[in-house]
Amino acid sequence: MSLWKFRGSWTTVKIPADIYAINNVISITNPAWGTFSSASAPSTIRPTDLFPQAATSLEIGSNINVLSNRMSFDFTYYQKKGFDFIKSSSVSPISGYGSIFMNTLEERTRKGVEMTLKATPVKTRDLQWDLMFNWTKDAQYFTKVDPLYTTNVDKPWVGVNKRTDAFVSNDFLRDPGGNIIYLNGIPQYSKYLSLFGYADPDWMWGLSTSLSYKNFRFNINLDGRVGGLITSYTEMYLWNTGNHILSQDEPARYKDATVAGSMNYIGNGVKVTSGTVTFDAIGNITADSRVYAPNDVATTYKTYLQNYHKSIAWGGNPSPAEILDGTFLKIREISLSYDVPSELVSKVKMKGASISFIGQNFFMWAKEFKYSDPDGGTENFADPSQRYLGFNLKIDF
């Protein structure tokens, strides 16, 4: 063992409310109608006794180097607890107010581990290979929930020790076998929210390797994430506008366009032939007498697409078809460089020179994102990411 180090830290941070945030301000509209100005009182209650928002964090870690520093392993565990959140908490607007500006009783804790492994598997006079691999896993949980003001506190995915990044949306109405229920040829959405998964990744990783042989050096940096759900607006609107490559060969589309007024697409699912269903307040089925038959009602392909991949630019929750897994891998940087040997360099009166070829964003693989880049955690018509390939020539005089 060459080195063994322990470390730890503890911090606390306080962030007060913004300046003027607790002012109760009348808003004036001028003009409101004709020559009249109007005044309206705020529908948010702003109390004067507000605590600053606080966060405490704790980190402990250890670093161990072995084999005369040829291999090292670093491990960190961290925990960051946020509380006294200042939030404009929504309340029932029937109380006369839409929200209260307050410190909630909520407490959220992000716990995670980070591990880094560095090794130099090969080290000779001419050849050296360095490797570094790091791996992070973290998630944020509710450690305390405010029974009145935590958003969606009555829903089953919100509660102590549940994750704060629940990804919810309206699923399709489905029969007991999971098939989508159609009404008049159109897929139906449930009016109730359900849990699809979580937005934060399950874990993230990075790998960097550096190989040097005599005057050549070759580096690759890769990283990626695994898991986590992201809504793809690109896919949503590709389908919605009829531009998606997979919609081009649909035979019903051609028939709809060539025979005016005809409807040729039959959605893959079931329809209800008789019976009714009742739901409780959060969407669990309390009584169900529905009888199903395979869907045989045709509609136009356009109508089907615009309902199956619904547009949410003016609000709403995404269709399950647009909720994609954010797993991806990228080669962030790849480079090959050559240091010109000093004997050659000095002949041209230079002190040193090197040539390198560099590629950035060299390669990307994503599990479900085919037309856009999930890097960044959200995808809302992001411009395509750019690959850069170039070379450098560095000369020292």
Partner 1 sequence: MKSIIHYRIFSALMIIVFLMGCTDKFDEFNTNPNTVTQAPPSMFATQVILNMTKFSGRDAMAYLEGQCLTKYVGLGVTKVANQYNQMGRGYFGLTSLPTINSMISSAEGNPQKDSYLALAKFARANMFWSGTTSLGDIPYSEAGLGADGNFKPKYDTQETVILGILNELKEADALFAKGIKFDGDPTPLAGDATKWRKVVNVFTLKVLNALSKKSDVTSLDVKKRFQDIVNAGNLLDNNTYLGLVYNDVQNHPMYNNRNLYYNSAMVSSMVVNYLKRLNDYRLFYFADPSPDKIASGLKEDNMDAYVGMDIEVEFAINQANNLKKLYSSLNGRYYDVKAPEPRVILGYSEQQFALAEARVRGWISTGTAKDYYESGVKAALAFYKATDATKAHNKPITDAYISGYFTGEAAFAATTDAQLKQIWLQRYLLGYMQPESEFYNYRLNKYPDFPINPATNLNPGIGGGFPMRNMYPDAEYSYNLENLKSALTKQWSGSDDTNNIMWILK
Burial 70-84 (b: 16+ CB within 10 A, else e): ebbebebbbebbbbb
As measured in angstroms, the least distance from the Cβ of 38 to partner 1 is 4
Task: Establish if 15 lies at the interface with partner 1 (CB under 8 A).
Answer: no
Question: For partner 1, which stretch binds (CB under 8 A), given 145-153, 232-240, 334-342, 382-390?
Answer: 145-153
Q: Which of 10, 12, 31, 245 binds partner 1 (CB under 8 A)?
A: 31
Please report the DSSP string for 161-227 in residue order: TSBTTEEEEEEEPB-TTSPBEEETTEEPEEEEEEEEEESS-SEEEEEEEEEEETTEEEEEEEEEEE-
Q: Which of 3, 67, 123, 154 binds partner 1 (CB under 8 A)?
A: 154
As measured in angstroms, the least distance from the Cβ of 146 to partner 1 is 12
**Cβ(267)–Cβ(304) under 8 Å?**
yes
CA distance 332 to 205: 13
Q: Which of 68, 95, 248, 392 binds partner 1 (CB under 8 A)?
A: 95
Task: Establish if 284 lies at the interface with partner 1 (CB under 8 A).
Answer: no
Question: For partner 1, which stretch binds (CB under 8 A), given 179-187, 216-224, 245-253, 387-395?
Answer: 179-187
CA distance 294 to 270: 4
Q: Which of 1, 36, 249, 383 binds partner 1 (CB under 8 A)?
A: 36
Angle formed by the axes of helices 251-258 and 301-308, to 10°?
130
Question: For partner 1, which stretch binds (CB under 8 A), given 150-158, 245-253, 359-367, 376-384?
Answer: 150-158
221-260: contacts with partner 1 (CB under 8 A): 256, 260
Binding string, 285-304, against partner 1, x = CB under 8 A? -x------------xx--x-
Task: Establish if 151 lies at the interface with partner 1 (CB under 8 A).
Answer: yes
Burial 257-281 (b: 16+ CB within 10 A, else e): eeeeeebbbbbebbbbeeeeeeeee
Specify the amino acid at residue 43.
S
**Cβ(208)–Cβ(220) under 8 Å?**
yes
As measured in angstroms, the least distance from the Cβ of 84 to partner 1 is 19
Please report the DSSP string for 37-81 in residue order: EEEE--SEE--S--PPEEEEEEEEEEEEEETTTTEEEEEEEEEEE
Please report the DSSP string for 155-168 in residue order: STT-STTSBTTEEE
CA max distance for the chain: 92
Q: Supply φ then ψ for residue 347, to 5 degrees.
A: -65, -30
Residue with tokens 């045989």: 296
Closer CB to partner 1, residue 11 or residue 24? 24
3-state SS class at 268: coil
Closer CB to partner 1, residue 274 or residue 386? 274
* Alpha carbon 276 to its chain's center: 38
Question: For partner 1, which stretch binds (CB under 8 A), given 70-78, 273-281, 352-360, 378-386?
Answer: 273-281
Question: For partner 1, which stretch binds (CB under 8 A), given 95-103, 107-115, 237-245, 352-360?
Answer: 95-103
Q: Which of 71, 105, 119, 186 binds partner 1 (CB under 8 A)?
A: 186
Task: Establish if 96 lies at the interface with partner 1 (CB under 8 A).
Answer: yes
105-124: contacts with partner 1 (CB under 8 A): none
Q: Which of 1, 6, 12, 33 binds partner 1 (CB under 8 A)?
A: 33
Residues near partner 1, by CB under 8 A: 19-20, 22-26, 28-29, 31-34, 36-43, 45, 90-98, 100, 148, 151-152, 154-155, 183-184, 186, 188, 191, 256, 260-263, 272, 274-276, 278-282, 286, 299-300, 303, 306, 314
